[in-house]
Structure 1
């Protein structure tokens, strides 16, 4: 008795992926260097007017878009949170009058160092704020 011949096996065909609709590509495409510099600069300048909100939003939205913008949003958020703590201390101690001096110092420090950081970001340089507590590493 002879067995019937076995037909040759073909490799399995991988399942085909459906086409990706426009606008639904990779979750976080990287930015080009010019866009990274622009957003890093805007995060620092936004801190002058809106305190920690631009840095927080920038960090949450842009942290995965490139190493440069990630570093700048992180350092800006750490600095703005440090100043927020100083502001709270200033408002609490305002009744002793030292708080008014603290609030004025926070206001001046926020403007000066945010402008320095924005200029550095615009030049494509990394910057670390002095006196900032590292909440986010």
Structure 2
């Protein structure tokens, strides 16, 4: 569709209907249009969402476990598995999320086994919450941020 717009624009310039300045301005507008396939290369919509929004939601859906038990574990995994083959960033962030969830679950269990570890487990929960928010913001900005202290179970 953009090629058609550029062709029409070129014809208008050749006929003298628009000036060279108008041609360049309109060409720039067409090429930089947010709906243009050139500007969205590599940013395929995922379930109707832009990539960065989808990545942010993958991180934030971990909070769903506070409302529905295990939802905070299942939803991000479903989001990852349904799009990991079509989008490299979803695969990268999904592996990061899964590794973090497993790692922090192990840390929580180890901390809770000891009496002195219960305050550490609470502190771990607060830290993980902060890490989820940081990862979500970074994902929304198109950046990758690895959760601290994660063990790489899935590479």
TM-score normalised by the chain length of structure 2? 0.60
For structure 2, the residue ranges without an aligned partner over 5 or more in a row are 1-42, 66-71
Runs (5+) with no aligned partner, structure 1: 1-29
Larger RCO: Structure 1 or Structure 2 (Cα < 8 Å, ≥ 6 residues apart)?
Answer: 1
Distance 1:91 1:72 in 2: 28
**Larger Rg, first or second structure (1 or 2):** 1
How much is the aligned-residue C-alpha RMSD, in angstroms? Answer: 2.0
Q: Is the 8 A contact 1:55 1:80 kept in 2?
A: no
Q: Deviations over 1:69-123 (max 9, x none)?
A: 1111111111111111112113322xx2x22112212211111110000000001
Q: Kindly indicate which of the two structures has a greater share of residues assigned to helix.
A: 2
Partner of residue 46, structure 1 = 61
Query: Deviation of residue 129 (structure 1)?
Result: 1.4
Partner of 1:105: 123
CA distance in 2, matches of 1:89, 1:77: 19
TM-score by length of 1: 0.67
Deviation >4 Å, runs of 4+: none
